[in-house]
Amino acid sequence: MLKLPTLTANSPTIAEVDLAAFKENIRTFKQVAADSMLMAVIKTNAYGHGTVPIGLAAVEAGADRLGVTTVEEGALLRENGITVPVHILSSVLPEQAADIVTYDLTASVSSRKLANDINNEAKKQHKTVPVNLKIDTGLHRFGIEPKKAIQFCESCYHLTSLNWEGIYTHFPNSDEGDWELTEEQFALFLDTVSNLNDHGYNFPIRHVGASTIAIERKDMHLDMIRPGAALFGYEPASRQRDLISLRPVMTLKSRLLSVRELPPNTPVGYGGSYVTSSHEKIAIVPIGHGDGYKYALSNKGEMLVNGKRARIVGTISLDQTVINVTGIPDVRAGDEVIVMGSQGGDEISAKDIAEWMESNVDEVLSSLMERIRRVYV
Ligand SMILES: *Cc1c(COP(=O)(O)O)cnc(C)c1O
């Protein structure tokens, strides 16, 4: 049995999660799509915010359903008292059928083998299990090709322990604002659904809309929207800034471990990729790429100390980052440093960090490791 130490003080680096802001974002989306159901997509440890507390908050704020990508996340929600439908938005292995049925999860089905295995398992457990048919309209990850949908339903729709409750697709280029392609794919999806309906294959819940569609395309909301990243405060595209008002949910903060002065021409950190040009004051922040604060931020990112921006200097190590606090008055070891969030009227957002590391908000947030303590406020 693993023994956990008893410590007198908590580690300095924490991710503060503002549950009130999260709930407000949920309510904002409920207003945006008042005529559709809301599935809160909280995959990947709720984009780094913590699956269980965020799942509970989402349901409290009125989310009708939750979406995750792994069976493990779905089971975790169930073990912690979540009773609303939980969708698995990824494909799964047929071997996972038993867990899906045991935990009453709603699988995305696009293979006969999986349909049959879930059906057999459901029979065994004396249950009828809801499933969603995934149609591939162009993302080309998984899903049934539209022209094979009828054939698929001929072989699986009749399985008696399955309830084909929903049908959905996911768009590859809506965040980029490629409406021509997205509209084409939307039309293909609707065509496929109506063709299936004509053959007697009905799916009460049709859904296609992640954050971008939820924000920009009311005409594509259908029966349910599926926002994810936006629930955590970040609209996927800057063109959406004036269309919706969202509050960032996470503040990432730490405290300076030490502050020291270095003379000119002093290399800092592994490889000496930064060399001081004058007398400079540097400080150590206990966060590194081992925490998911990525190496790509080396010599690029910034943090806030005493309300002022301090640049990252040198390469980021596993557990530590060096920042340049030259010119920031009264900086002392122990001072709070904001890695992501607001301080003194300035703000460093997950979007800024994403730009510095040439990535996206999803990666910035979901990379943050479990060892960064989440504090829910
Ligand atoms: C991740 C995901 C979403 C949410 O996407 P956002 O762009 O973060 O809103 C919705 N649907 C599916 C199928 C997903 O995989």
C-beta of residue 174 within 8 angstroms of C-beta of residue 212: yes
Chain segment 12-31, per-residue pLDDT in tens: 999 999 999 999 999 999 99
How many CA atoms does the CB half-sphere of 311 hold within 13 Å?
12
- Residues with Cβ within 8 Å of residue 277, at least 6 apart in sequence: 264, 265
Residue whose C-alpha is closest to residue 195's, from 148, 156, 158: 148
Quote the DSSP letter at residue 261: E
CA–CA dist 337, 301 (Å, integer): 13
Ligand 1 test: best mutation among 89, 108, 361, most atoms within 8 Å of CB?
89
How many CA atoms does the CB half-sphere of 169 hold within 13 Å?
28
Which residues of the chain have a pLDDT value below 50? none
pLDDT at 8: 87
Atom of ligand 1 nearest to the CA of 89: 13
C-beta of residue 224 within 8 angstroms of C-beta of residue 65: yes
CA–CA dist 157, 162 (Å, integer): 8
Atom of ligand 1 nearest to the CA of 39: 10
C-beta of residue 91 within 8 angstroms of C-beta of residue 108: yes
Strand 302-305 with 105-109, pairing = unpaired
CA–CA dist 207, 79 (Å, integer): 27
Catalytic residues: 43, 270
Determine if ligand 1 sits within 6 Å of the CB of residue 230: yes
**Cα 210 to ligand 1 centroid, rounded to whole Å:** 5
Angstrom distances, CA of residue 202 to CA of 105, 117, 189, 193: 20, 21, 14, 8
SS3 257: coil
Token pair recorded at residue 314: 């040198």
**Cα 226 to ligand 1 centroid, rounded to whole Å:** 6
**Angle in degrees, CA 229, 369, 87, rounded to 5:** 45
Determine if ligand 1 sits within 6 Å of the CB of residue 50: no
C-beta of residue 251 within 8 angstroms of C-beta of residue 341: yes
Give pTM, 2 decimals.
0.96
